Every structure is written in C-alpha cells, then in structure tokens.
Structure 1
C-alpha cells in the first residue's frame, strides 16, 4: 500500500496558489510555476507561480506606495490595535484549516500542530502581543545639554518596506514573528514564503485582508530563492530584510544588503547544547525532552533543536537509555493520522544530507546507538529516516560541529562544570541551550557563562513576549517582545527651541 495525501486536498481547501500584489491575486508574468511535491509521499499536490523580477518590482512598488502615500503608517493607534486583535481571532477561528494546509505543505503532523511553539494559537498570541505595542511607539524628551533653552526629543517611526522571507519548518510562528511587529509599527510588507511551505502562508495572508488590512500593505511573491528571493533582497526600494533560514543564505543577504545599507534581522540556526548534571530533577525526562526536540514534530528540522547532549559521566548511560526509548516511540506516516508524531525531511536533498552526516559520524569514530536507516513499506517513497543517537562523540567531530537539520543527536560526556561550559561554547553558533540541574546557584553561574540567546532550565520553551535570537553566527537581532518591535522602526531626534534664544 502506498501512502497518499490526495484525499485531504479538498477537505483542507488546497488549491493552486497566486501572487498578491496591491490587493489583487494574480499569476506570474512569465506563467512559470512551481509544483509542490509532498515530502511524505512524493506526490504532486498543487502549484503556485514563480515570481520573476517584474513581479517582485510590482509587489515592492505596491508596498512602497502604500507606505509613502497610504493610510497605514498614519492609522490611529486604536484602529490598528483593533485590527491586529481581529486578525489574531481570525487565526484562531481558522486554526483547523491552517493546520491541515501546513500538513499538506511540509508534512508536520496534526498531532504536533497543537504544541504551543508551532501552533496557530502561538501565532495569534504574537499578533495580540504586538498589538499592545502600537500605542507605546514612543520616544523621549531630554533637557538641553548646552546652548539656549531647548528640548531634545526622540521619535520612533516605521522603517518602511519590509521583505519578510520565511522558512518552511514553522510557517505559523515565523509569519507572525515577522509580520506582527512590522505591521504594528506601521510598516508595509512583501512576504516570500518558502517554496516548501507556501499554501498555509497564502491562507494567513488572505485572512489579513478579511481583518481589514488595506490593499498594498501586505503583498506576496512566491517561488524559490532564485529568481524570487534574489530579486527581493536586492531590491533598492526595500528598507529592511527579515530572514529565517540557513547561515549561508544569511551571509548572502548581508552582502546583498550592503549596496543600499538595508537593515537586516537574521535568525540563522544553531548547534544548541543540552547540559545534564547528575542532580537533574529527572535525568530520564531530560533525555526524553532533548530527544524530543530532535525527533518529534519536525524531525529535528528546527533551528533551536538541542542536537548536542552534554551529559555528566555519572548519568551518561542512563541518559542514552532514556533517549533511545524516546527515539523508539517516534512514528511516521500520514500527517493527518493522530498516531503519527513526526514529519518527513522536507525534500530529497535534505534526506541525502542527513544520511551523509550519519555516515560521517560512523566514519569519524562515533558509536551509532540506534537509528539512521530509512523505513520501508508504504513509507519508502517519503523522505523519512529513523532517529539516530550517536554516543562517544568528541566535540571536534563533524556531527558535533555542523547543523544537521535532521533527527540526529550527538551525546558527549563531561566530568565537571568548567568542561561542560567549555564544550557548550565551543561552537560557531549560539542560539539556545538547555540546562538540567537542581542547583540554583549553578543555574545562575551557567546562565551567565553560556554564549546563547535563550537558556532553558529543566525544560525549554518559546514565548511571544520575550526576545528570541542568537549569539555569534546564529544571527543578528531578535524576534519577539519589545526588541523585535523596535527593530522595525527608525529613531529620529528633534531639537526644539523653547525661547527665541539661539541654540
């Protein structure tokens, strides 16, 4: 029996996609299209246009006009607040359809789509949170420092036209983390969803129109990085690029932004460590939680997956046994099946990349405890690989250095706290870290010592109102909270004399 997703197409309302330019859904000028192949079955399910330079020009032009001449940047705070809250409610009202469309996009199972960080509810919360910042877009008034009587004032104003370039692994949350602060600040946006997760994003954009966002404020161009993404990041009328994806593409965006000194926000992945001490409240739970970030839901295709487990030698074997039990519990198949817990890898290229890393781990001397093979039967046409655990890993090995983006966990032993910190920080990345201990003094010591943007203590989660982003090559800037909101603004200083005296 062969796995098929065709019966779900009509149920979730999947149809061919279009570009959105100035409120009008349309085809690409060239007529070229991208056919979406589902990663679990290899089936062709639907298509969408490939936007060329002329299409991107039209979308950016519409956003530029809506910003320069439209009402959106000048809308009263109360009206924008109500609109963003209305949109959050529309997301919640349409959550079932959106989860189904995501399953048709990237294969993330419905069983996982309710987990908070990847849920529609989390995206709605992000919009609600940023709606609360709309009437707080303020500056400062400062006394004169020298010269005549005057005030120095600062104003925060929307940055302009934003290019929001989304990944495929978490379209709900990443759409919200980019568009919510941009729209709350008064910016206009051109969205480019990943070619591997387009249909759920198109529906989210449709709902913005239903919420009352004016034409031209949000536009959509679909297609791959070349030509669509390239045209967008190089466009001279784009003021800011917000991107989540690979480090290599992030570096390319920085180079492309140099010509016009575009502002950039980049979240570029990680090689996040979990550090487990013998006094962890529950070593088995720490192992299952860590292995869960590498297997459940998106099969380790998450920027903040804790793919390096640094485990004290006293509990090393206990940790591996519990992690192995978690790996054995992972199930694959039809993402609409309630018993399926994890997705396929997004495409054949990624599948081959992950299998190559598994081969590399064995070749470099790590011990493969379990997994690493492809399932057979009805799953053989999909991009599935069984979760792999490597023991006796040295932090210099390739599997401990490079972001694999798949269900592969490297377990590294340590003897004391200083060694754990050294190993954790010995990476080019710095996105997240997990810390399992009952010693509150150790929590404070290590939270300061670890070079990572988010530290989870005896667990790990993402909230809509706190900053998320990384140190080192994990990116530039933060998403979530006040810092994200302010990153979509420019700061202006106004010098105001209060007498006729010269300043």
Structure 2
C-alpha cells in the first residue's frame, strides 16, 4: 500500500509548489512507504487565504443545518473507509493491529459520533430576559458565533483521532480550517482532503498542508494575522513557542500538551483483584506513545514487594507478545521514528544512571526488523524527583514509586508540572475522593472511561489549556457576543 499524498487547498488536491515531495518512512521497516507533498511557504499562504475567504465571503459560519448535514456525511465516509484507515495507521503510524482498530481508528470514529451528537445541544442564541438599568428596560441576548480561521496543528501518535477532534469540532462550530499534520504522518491528514471532496464540503472550509519541515508551516500559521485561533496538540516546549507566536496578534490558543499521569493503586484494592490491576499498569499499548497514558505507578509500601513480583512476572510473560504486525491481538509495535527511539533509549540509560532499578526491558530490538523497536520497560525503586518520573518519555516505560498513605500518594501525584490524565483503583468512594484532589483533567476510577468523544478532554498546569471533544470542545471554537436591545 503506497502512501503517496497531495496537498488539499481551496477544494483541490494538488502537488506542493514545484512538485516537491519528501519520504514517508514506515516505523515497522525504516523504509520509504510513500512520497508526501512537501508544502512550501507559498502553499501555506494559499491555504490560509482559502480558509479566510471561505469564512468571510460565504454562509458557512451561519448555516448550522447545512454544516450539520455535511459533517454527518463526512463522518459516514470515515466509517466507509475504516479498513483503509486501519491500514494507514498500521503502515504509517506503526500501530499494532490491536491498537489500530481500537484507539487509532475506532476511537476516532466514535469520537466523530460524539461530536455530531453533542452539536445538537449547542445553544447559538440564548434569551437572558429583560432588565431595567439606568431607568429603562433592555432585552438581552447572548449569542455564540464561529471564531474564524483555525490552524489545527496535530501530532503523529494518534493522528486520525486528534485530526477528527480538531477538524470536525471546528467545522461544526462554523470555523474554517487549515490542518497541518505532523511530518511523520502525512497520509492520515491528506485523506481529509479526499473525503472533503466526496462529502461535498465547500471550497476552502478545510485545507491540508503537509511539510517535511516541522517548523516553517507552524510558524506561519501561528503568526499570521488572518488566522484567528490555533489548536495544537504536542509537546509542552512547542506549545510554549506557539503561545508566544500567537501573542503578537492575540490569537486564541488551545494547547493539549504533555503528561506524566499516575496509575494510583490504593491499599484497599481487593486481594484477588490486585495482581490483575498491577499487571494492567504495564505501558505497552501503542508503545506508550500517548500523552494521557499513566506512566507513574504508585503502590502502597505495604504491598510494594508484591507489586514488584507481579510486574516482573507480567513483563516476562509479555516478552514474545509484541512487535507483530500480523497478530490481531498485538497492541504494541515500534516507535514512530529513529529519533524517538533514540530519545526513549536515552531515558532508559538515564534511569539507570539515576539509580532506579531496571526490572524489565530497556533494550533496542533490531531483531524485530528494520524499524524502531524497543522492549517494554519497567523501572522500580524510583523516587518522584528523578527525571524519569518527572519528564514525559513518550515510550513504553513504566516507573514504579512506593507511597506511605493516601495523603502521600496525592502529594506525589500532584508533584508534577503536568496534569493531563490518571487512573485510581480502590473502593469506589475512596477512589472518587482521591480523584477530586488530583489536579488533572481526565481521571479514571477502577477502569472507567474518562476519555470519549462526548466528554471534554484537556489538562491542568503545563499539560495545556482549553478543552477538546464533547460540547465543550465545539464551544471552544466559538466567540460569545452579548446584545442589549432597548425596549422602553
């Protein structure tokens, strides 16, 4: 399956200026899997102009019923292309089959359903009644209107899911969009152009620009005064740069950034459930390449030796169950790139130097093929002040930290610059009480789903600002207007 891709600008699939392309490298093999259009500054300028024109000169932002119908058609086309999307996620994203069908594709499709369903709850105009001020009556209204042109800058880890979360929500809100996918996953962005044509979306409401250069297009989109709003998912360091870029024109900026979430096991987890809960903390799904993935396992000291023994056995038993592109149950494949492989291995080496005990994994596995494979890895005897416990590794690396009591666990959980996700296991009310004190945006109790298309998602602290998904995710792409009409 060759993944050759084009740009999509002003309703047209076309090559980049001058026909320039770049190699799309497959994570499983390290080999070229296609040629992606390498957008230039001129291409980015054309995409912004098209989005601006579509917003300013058409009724896209005000015809709510039309948008709703067209986005339902777009959603249906995503479903129609499910098998193709799964193949792209395996070949381009490096998703193992079990992850490709779950979070990568079906999660995105379910998310689109959630957004379209939540759109029906949007209140575009609200009557706030009559109030007498300054000696006369005023009839008051509060309205929501589309924010304008959106720059959607997306990462490589779950690209369809995040592309849907930004693009579908922004279009439903009445905005127009320039989508800039990560250089590593151009095909999962380029397909939006193909489906936009088939769905009959008006010219310019969505534009897709891919580029080998991770900086130039993003710099233009975040600085151009024709762009009203930037929605970015990626690293905290880049998020800070985007915020600084947008300051000159006071753009609205939504940032979904890094995480170092906790997997907190309370001491009242039932004895028979404890082994399953601890084994379930292994960071293996999609090789740990998820911003909200709980990568800090917090275990009570009273049960710490037992937890370490369970993990040692669990990781040993998983040794031959990952890195298989043709195994339907496999959920862990390679990392996205050589650069990411080197980054993760660097953190493994750092953990050893910091004095943590390497319980399992940590090795690069060239025997798995020419791609970017590293073993599922677990460190124990970790202190929360170690860098491997504080910095986002974005790989299959779990760190295990003992704690004294609930207060100590909550302190450790909150002792982080991040606050994106997390999981708590224990008796229901106690776990709920602990969750309420953890400063993070999406928390699971006893395996409950806190990240779905109809719930808001986003972080505290340096995990970002704003919310995606759910009604709140659509509302983020709107402005609020108050009108007071004198009636006496």
TM-score by length of 1: 0.91
The offset of 1:168, in angstroms, is 0.6
Please state if 1:40 is matched with 2:19: no
Please state if 1:167 is matched with 2:152: no
Query: Contact 2:41–2:216 (CA<8 Å) still a contact in 1?
Result: yes
1:138 to 104, 124, 129: 124
Superposition map of 1:74-93 within 5 A = 74-75=62-63, 77-93=64-80
Gap change, CA 1:134 and 1:430, over 3 Å in 2: closer
- Cα shift readout 1:351-389 (whole Å, capped 9, x = no counterpart): 111111111111111111110012243x25221111111
- Cα shift readout 1:15-60 (whole Å, capped 9, x = no counterpart): 4211111011112224332211112211111111221211111001
2:354 to 337, 348, 364: 364
Gap change, CA 1:133 and 1:445, over 3 Å in 2: closer
Query: Contact 1:469–1:477 (CA<8 Å) still a contact in 2?
Result: yes
Please state if 1:214 is matched with 2:205: no
Match of 2:473 in 1: 484
Gap change, CA 1:460 and 1:228, over 3 Å in 2: farther
Superposition map of 1:96-495 within 5 A = 96-115=83-102, 118-135=103-120, 136-142=122-128, 143-147=130-134, 148-223=136-211, 224-281=213-270, 282-291=273-282, 294-296=283-285, 298-328=286-316, 329=318, 331-338=321-328, 340-377=330-367, 379-438=368-427, 440-461=428-449, 462-495=451-484
Gap change, CA 1:134 and 1:441, over 3 Å in 2: closer
More moved, 309-318 vs 266-275: 309-318
Gap change, CA 1:259 and 1:24, over 3 Å in 2: same
Gap change, CA 1:381 and 1:448, over 3 Å in 2: same
SS in 2 for 1:112: helix
Runs of at least 5 residues in structure 2 that lack an aligned partner in the other structure:
none
Gap change, CA 1:236 and 1:444, over 3 Å in 2: same
The offset of 1:346, in angstroms, is 1.2
Query: Contact 2:179–2:209 (CA<8 Å) still a contact in 1?
Result: yes
Gap change, CA 1:205 and 1:323, over 3 Å in 2: farther
The offset of 1:79, in angstroms, is 2.9
Query: Contact 1:103–1:336 (CA<8 Å) still a contact in 2?
Result: no
- Cα shift readout 1:302-351 (whole Å, capped 9, x = no counterpart): 10111100101222233233333443425344534435431211111111
Cα RMSD for the two superposed structures: 1.7
Runs of at least 5 residues in structure 1 that lack an aligned partner in the other structure:
1-8
Gap change, CA 1:241 and 1:123, over 3 Å in 2: same
The 1-side partners of 2:434 and 2:323 are apart by 40
Query: Contact 1:20–1:220 (CA<8 Å) still a contact in 2?
Result: yes
The 2-side partners of 1:320 and 1:211 are apart by 53
The 1-side partners of 2:218 and 2:202 are apart by 24
The offset of 1:133, in angstroms, is 4.4
The 1-side partners of 2:454 and 2:204 are apart by 28
The 1-side partners of 2:438 and 2:239 are apart by 23
Gap change, CA 1:374 and 1:460, over 3 Å in 2: farther
Query: Contact 1:388–1:407 (CA<8 Å) still a contact in 2?
Result: yes
The offset of 1:186, in angstroms, is 0.6
TM-score by length of 2: 0.94
Count of aligned residue pairs for this structure pair: 479
- Cα shift readout 1:144-164 (whole Å, capped 9, x = no counterpart): 241212112111000000011
The offset of 1:460, in angstroms, is 4.9
